[in-house]
Structure 1
Amino acid sequence: MGPPVTVDGSVRPRPDLTLDGCFGSVPEEYAEPADGALISQENFVGICTVQDSSHLDETDLALVHALQLQPRFPWSRLARVLDVDASTLTRRWSRLTREGLAWFSCYPSGSKDWTGHDWEAHAFVEVECFPGHRQTVMDELAGKARVWNIDATSGRRDLMLTMVAPSIVDLDEEVDTSVATIPGVRATRTHFFRSMIRDGSSWRLNALSPEQRHALTPTPTRDGASRPGPRDLELLRILGPDARIPAATVAEQLGCSPSTAGRWITRVVESRFAAIRCEIAHYVAGWQVAATLWLDVPQHDLKSVAAAIARLPEIRLCVTIGSEANLVAQIWLHRLEHLDRFEMLLTTRFAGTRILDRWITPHFAKRLCHRIGHDGRRTGFVSPFATV
């Protein structure tokens, strides 16, 4: 593989950085790439690092990383791992959420357990707007329950949406009747997901030491046999905007005891049909560039290449799609020039893989049902269970 390569072209590794533990899990059928297919972690050292911020200090970043690993750990347990007083962590988290700098999402995962429910089908939808209408179109789309993400993008389209529906037929109709008809929309193009390889729930800040990450690494307990029922759906409604909501509050809404609510919450959190994200205002935290790469991968290499790309720490989303491209990767980087380095390493390592298109996302208007301001901070929440 050769010596480690950094963004500035140096071959010296950065001993103060590690990418261990940054990678999320990928579906079982994608979990074992072919021999030699995985890009060396060392090749990307220097691209994905935590940057200094006037709004977020090291303790804030460590707290968010810890909550990404253990979203419902008591403050007292987190305090022991982070070596910070529990009351201090509570105050810091309150400030982060109050200022829109960090937040939680709990949502239905891409599991096949949701067959027949409202979010079985997923798609990217490109939206072209008439000049001067992009903001009004975004405002209209932001309130729609089936529009989970809104990216303002570069290139020939103005917006890229991530939409969900019970089926591809329903999703196609939703685009035709609920998106294309918005005043100011000129055209739409839909790209249906085939497989979700990785989503943002497995993206990590890389702000903890290896010892701290080890102490917080979840024990694999996901129940592969259970399927979601009506009570699980109700819990997802409650946990959707805040996965740390106290069990006592959940108990009040469900009419049960706090201990019972706690058991039900644990079932949902540890299930394969729910996913939890602890998000951060990426601009404030130092990730200045969000980009989407549309890749054409030889079909016989698709699984191994998808698995390898999904394990890179920059990756926020990796899906196979039914379009001219067959693999889409969304990445976060600190500077735009890092994209050149990332693309070079990607195409060099995977012979035959072509980058058909690349988009820069200057602004997210909505991220997984949360409204986002121009500075990347959370400003509100639209329940995916709401009536469309």
Structure 2
Amino acid sequence: MTSARTQFSPHLDTVDKQIVRALQLRPRAPFSLVGSVLGLSEQTVARRFRRLQRDGLVRVTAGFHARAFGFTSWIVRVRCRPEGAPAVADALARRDDVSWVTIMSGGWEVTFNLSAHSERDAEELLVRLLPKATTVIDVSAAAVLHSFAGADPADWQGWRDVLDADQTHRIRTPPTAARPPAPTRAVWSPRDGDQAILDALVLDGRTEYSALARAAGTTLGRVRRRVDALLAAGVIYLDVDIAPAATGNTAPVVLWLTVAPGRLDAVGHAVAAHPTVPFAAALTGPANIMASVTTATLDDAYRFITDALGPLDGVTGFEVTPILRRVKHAGTYLVDGRLSVSPAAPVRPATAPARRGTR
């Protein structure tokens, strides 16, 4: 007998993609507004979104900027013996301070993001624990200096053309304020009820204000103002996670670029502007820009390198590493390319950033 899992199809039609794109532009947009813009009923939009959510294809969530808590975000590459990479990746994925984990390069490299709670925690993992693992060959870590793409849910623009200019404008109305830069020092002063609000938003970024107010034991007006204040201060952000199975991008790669200092900003923004790039950042270390590229085939990756990267002035070297398997994605486990049915556990940002991810 064929199982329900085998029968599952991750196919999204045009309407599904329009709904997801609308939420990328405005993660908490009312279903009534999305329906009005798309010519659908509120019930139809809600039903379709909940199906995508239930099937592990789309999730609206909240994350925390590491710098809002005085933490450093690291990109770490762990070279392993091939037989040991899965165990290393699974162990890293269980950590609350690790938001994404991938197995790369034919199964011998594990790459992950670490937002250490303190310098001591980072040293413990990077200097003591990982190097002593019998299957680990070496470890290299680079600090994130600046994010070019990845700080806004609309940064991945693979479905940008499913909405026309008028629809995009109507979804964005009232105009959203410019996203504030991530704070460079700890600015979050927790108040009573904050933890309950943040826990709920990590699990579901579209949690109704009435539910947030009940969880926090406060009024509807106060919870609205507090959420707005945390967003405006750059302490938290809302995001839309799209499972790899939903996009059809089965051959993603990571680029490690070496760029002349005077061209670092220009190249970073040029790479980030490409619709296939959901994340790009300036790093410390020999490769000073990292970018993830969501491509459907390796031929597409080749064309990106030759057509988009090739003409850029200032790129003096590059490395391409294919992603073999994503183990954790934006704080959520991945199973067969889908977001895990089990939600991420609530977090305690007073002492640690969210599992969902930090930037």
User: TM-score, normalized by length of structure 2?
Assistant: 0.83
| 2:38 corresponds to 1:85 | no
Aligned residues of 1:149 and 1:367 also touching (Cα < 8 A): yes
Q: Who is 2:188 aligned against?
A: 228
1:294-313 correspondence runs (5 A): 294-313=256-275
Where does the alignment leave 5 or more consecutive residues of structure 2 unmatched? Answer: 1-8, 353-359
Q: Who is 1:209 aligned against?
A: 164
Q: Who is 1:98 aligned against?
A: 54
Aligned residues: 331
Q: Who is 2:355 aligned against?
A: none
Aligned residues of 2:69 and 2:188 also touching (Cα < 8 A): no
Where does the alignment leave 5 or more consecutive residues of structure 1 unmatched? Answer: 1-52
Q: Who is 2:326 aligned against?
A: 364
Q: Give the counterpart letter for 1:229 in structure 2.
A: S
Q: Give the counterpart letter for 2:206 in structure 1.
A: R
Q: What SS is found at the alignment partner of 2:252? A: strand
Q: Who is 2:123 aligned against?
A: 172
Distance 1:151 1:354 in 2: 26
1:123-272 correspondence runs (5 A): 123-154=74-105, 157-167=108-118, 170-181=121-132, 184-199=135-150, 201=153, 202-204=155-157, 205-206=159-160, 207-217=162-172, 219-221=175-177, 227-231=187-191, 232=194, 234-272=196-234
Distance 1:141 1:223 in 2: 30
Q: CA offsets, 1:245-274, max 9 Å, x none?
A: 111221121111233323322333444332
Q: CA offsets, 1:284-337, max 9 Å, x none?
A: 322222111111111111111112222221111111111111111111122210
Q: Structure 1 residue 171: deviation in Å? A: 2.0
Q: Who is 1:285 aligned against?
A: 247
Between the aligned residues of both structures, percent identity stands at 23
Distance 1:183 1:148 in 2: 24
1:17-166 correspondence runs (5 A): 55-109=11-65, 112=67, 114-116=68-70, 120-154=71-105, 157-166=108-117
Q: Who is 2:316 aligned against?
A: 354
Q: Who is 2:3 aligned against?
A: none
Q: What SS is found at the alignment partner of 2:140? A: strand
Q: Structure 1 residue 167: deviation in Å? A: 4.9
Q: Who is 1:385 aligned against?
A: 348
Q: Give the counterpart letter for 2:348 in structure 1.
A: F
Distance 2:316 2:17 in 1: 35
Q: What SS is found at the alignment partner of 1:346? A: helix
Q: Give the counterpart letter for 1:138 in structure 2.
A: A
Aligned residues of 2:10 and 2:245 also touching (Cα < 8 A): no
- Of 239-248 and 181-190, more deviation after overlay is shown by 181-190
Distance 2:150 2:115 in 1: 14
Distance 1:253 1:177 in 2: 40
Give the helix-richer structure, 1 or 2.
Answer: 2
Q: Provide the aligned C-alpha RMSD in A.
A: 2.7
Aligned residues of 1:222 and 1:271 also touching (Cα < 8 A): no
Q: Give the counterpart letter for 1:356 in structure 2.
A: F
Q: Give the counterpart letter for 1:230 in structure 2.
A: P
Q: Structure 1 residue 192: deviation in Å? A: 1.5
Q: What SS is found at the alignment partner of 1:308? A: helix
Query: For the structure 1 residues 385 and 203, does the alpha-carbon distance in structure 2 shift closer, same or farther, using more than 3 Å as the test?
Result: farther
Query: For the structure 1 residues 192 and 385, does the alpha-carbon distance in structure 2 shift closer, same or farther, using more than 3 Å as the test?
Result: same
Q: Structure 1 residue 187: deviation in Å? A: 3.1
Aligned residues of 1:103 and 1:378 also touching (Cα < 8 A): no
Q: Structure 1 residue 240: deviation in Å? A: 1.1
Distance 1:271 1:68 in 2: 20
Q: Structure 1 residue 168: deviation in Å? A: 5.0
User: TM-score, normalized by length of structure 1?
Assistant: 0.77
Q: Structure 1 residue 140: deviation in Å? A: 1.9
Aligned residues of 1:347 and 1:354 also touching (Cα < 8 A): no
Query: For the structure 1 residues 82 and 311, does the alpha-carbon distance in structure 2 shift closer, same or farther, using more than 3 Å as the test?
Result: same
Query: For the structure 1 residues 196 and 169, does the alpha-carbon distance in structure 2 shift closer, same or farther, using more than 3 Å as the test?
Result: farther
Distance 2:134 2:199 in 1: 31
Distance 1:222 1:267 in 2: 14
Distance 1:144 1:315 in 2: 26
